[in-house]
Structure 1
């Protein structure tokens, strides 16, 4: 488990990255601009920073330069952008960025970059108390991608290699409460899907990775589907 700081001015990207990295067991703190990132860095050194380049107040490359100048660039930083040029990526790497991810970011590339970043840091992982708790914003996703609002492209599937899945919980029966053949097809389908996913969430102890494997869905598709159905994984798994 590691403390990861995600800096991006797009709320949807912060939310999605928090869900993905949180499901991998990491503690995620988010910042929507450079000033918030400065405040978080002043409170402690994260194990890894995912830093967007284009932000409204101060761009990511400028913030990276500040940290390097002030001796605060003591953690691996992975830059992210959907519009950066090769020159920008080269400059960020020269300043001290460990890697550069182009949006839309494929899940496999994200997890691989994070894993590489965490294995390169020489410092030990700090306790979770180093970060103040911040409420995660709730957003509705129209497309299963990590991208800027203007970007197009599918969110590529993939899971981190070597991921060890937890032991499955005993199967639990989930009743199809409220399901009737007299219901309109759409309502009946939603009721079935809701019960179907709740069943697998209980069965797998709330592990989104295992549920994705069981249901045959790519994990970001699964996140979006659960939001559409109003299913909250943490609450459902506690019921089991």
Structure 2
């Protein structure tokens, strides 16, 4: 996934954004002022910057102009402010910002803005060489046949797509000779592990796919003992 630089002089904001975006599989670097932001941008070359406007040393719009004037605005920048005005937002977009988030920032608006920013700058995959076999894409998954294990006594086969077989280490069969609650928990665990693997660990997309509110989803996964660490998306791009 992406490497994201969060620049904000408020410790609570930095911690909150870092926690949310880390859960989404991103690598997060934090800076509390313009000086730290300059150093971090030079050191890590982030894929995206979340930049607060009102900071004690140099404000975010000034830093944005500085990067733009020096040819360093090679990544998308989303501006943030709790006291912003329409004029401020317009000025920020004129000098290079691609979006403006008003504090307090809601989870949905944050993740939507980040996803849209990263989609805009994501490189298109190179076409395969002539004659090379084409790989499956996500849109092809619906047409894949679902291989099933041969039935055995007391077991029912779990028809899981190829992507789940590659991404999950969980059992693909369920023992029916057990209490209903245990059997249901085993099925639900595999169900959520399948969706986590399919969505590359994105809690937001899994919540949308399964119809659960994000907080409820977290509690459910912890209750079922789902290992979230192995479903995290790769760090860096």
- Tell me if TM exceeds 0.5: yes
Change (3 A) 1:234 1:216: closer
- For 1:33 and 1:222, locate their aligned partners in 2 and report how far apart those are by CA, in whole Å: 35
Question: Which residue of structure 2 aligns with residue 18 of structure 1?
Answer: 18
Residue 218 (structure 1) shift? 3.5
Residue 44 (structure 1) shift? 3.8
Change (3 A) 1:54 1:222: farther
8 A Cα contact 1:212 1:222, kept in partner: no
Question: Which residue of structure 1 aligns with residue 99 of structure 2?
Answer: 99
Deviations 1:20-58 (A, max 9, x none): 111212111111111110001122421111101111111
Deviations 1:76-95 (A, max 9, x none): 00001111111111100000
Matches within 5 A, 1:109-120: 109-120=109-120
Question: Which residue of structure 2 aligns with residue 108 of structure 1?
Answer: 108
- For 1:10 and 1:123, locate their aligned partners in 2 and report how far apart those are by CA, in whole Å: 33
Change (3 A) 1:214 1:112: closer
- For 2:16 and 2:61, locate their aligned partners in 1 and report how far apart those are by CA, in whole Å: 23
Deviations 1:4-24 (A, max 9, x none): 111111112211211211121
- For 1:123 and 1:212, locate their aligned partners in 2 and report how far apart those are by CA, in whole Å: 26
- For 2:73 and 2:94, locate their aligned partners in 1 and report how far apart those are by CA, in whole Å: 13
Change (3 A) 1:208 1:24: closer
8 A Cα contact 1:10 1:32, kept in partner: yes
Change (3 A) 1:121 1:208: closer
Deviations 1:215-237 (A, max 9, x none): 95543x888x9xxxxxxx879x9
Question: Which residue of structure 2 aligns with residue 76 of structure 1?
Answer: 76
Which is greater in Rg? 2
- Number of residue equivalences: 169
List gaps (5 residues or longer) in structure 1: 125-165, 171-199, 226-232
List gaps (5 residues or longer) in structure 2: 125-162, 172-188, 220-226, 232-237
Q: Secondary structure at the match of 1:13?
A: helix
Query: Which moved further from structure 2: 2-11 or 114-123?
Result: 114-123
The CA RMSD over aligned residues, in Å, is: 4.0
8 A Cα contact 1:204 1:211, kept in partner: no
TM-score by length of 1: 0.55
TM-score by length of 2: 0.56
Question: Which residue of structure 1 aligns with residue 6 of structure 2?
Answer: 6
